[in-house]
Amino acid sequence: MPVIEVVLGDITSEDVDAIVTVANESLLGGGGVDGAIHRTAGPRLAEAGSALAPCATGDAVATPAFDLNPPVRHVIHTVGPVWEGGGYGEADLLTSCYRRSLEVADEVEARSVAFPAIATGVYGFPPAQAAKIAISTIRATPTEVERVRLVAFDEETHDLLAAAAQA
């Protein structure tokens, strides 16, 4: 089971083997954290992503990290669920995002991975419930990943992730 670190910051500054971006199924880039990562990794990220598209909600695929600074070698693109009230399998799909991202990290032999708070921005997933899903899924998924960093972009998300990690 990986060590889980909860931090406040910008995921594009993380020193890990792989960072996870929260995309849409086109993998062409968008706003939010996806936009930040595409801006930093450069246009080759969208080219590589679109060659693997469409990516289904709950699934994940890896591309090189291109212009992102070392040691980041991989970007893992996952597509979170749009929150529609909770009755449409959103929790299971978010669980799948974390599980599939760890499986893909194993495929590329990444031993340290940084995640943003998947689906809690534009897609509107309640951050408290999302934090619990993140922690429980990372703890429950068999993986060779040794270190997971959950990178919050705001204090509220950070505190929710920290509370879930301590529960």
Which residues lie near ligand APR (CB under 6 A)?
10-12, 22-24, 30-36, 80, 116-123, 151, 153-154, 157
CA distance 115 to 113: 7
144 vs 154, which CB is nearer to ligand APR? 154
Which positions are catalytic?
34
Q: How far is the CB of 8 from ligand APR (least distance, A)?
A: 9
Q: Look at residues 84, 76, 89 and name the one whose alpha carbon lies nearest to residue 34.
A: 76
Phi/psi region, residue 123 (left: phi>0; alpha: psi -120 to 50; beta: rest), is alpha
1 vs 11, which CB is nearer to ligand APR? 11
Residues contacting 51, CB < 8 A, separation 6+: none
Q: How far is the CB of 124 from ligand APR (least distance, A)?
A: 7
Phi/psi region, residue 27 (left: phi>0; alpha: psi -120 to 50; beta: rest), is left
9 vs 144, which CB is nearer to ligand APR? 9
Amino acid at site 68: L
For the record, the structure tokens of 30 come out as: 């968008």
Q: How far is the CB of 78 from ligand APR (least distance, A)?
A: 9
Alpha helices of the chain — where are they, by DSSP H?
Answer: 32-41, 44-52, 90-107, 127-140, 155-166
CA distance 150 to 8: 8
110 vs 144, which CB is nearer to ligand APR? 110
Q: How far is the CB of 83 from ligand APR (least distance, A)?
A: 9
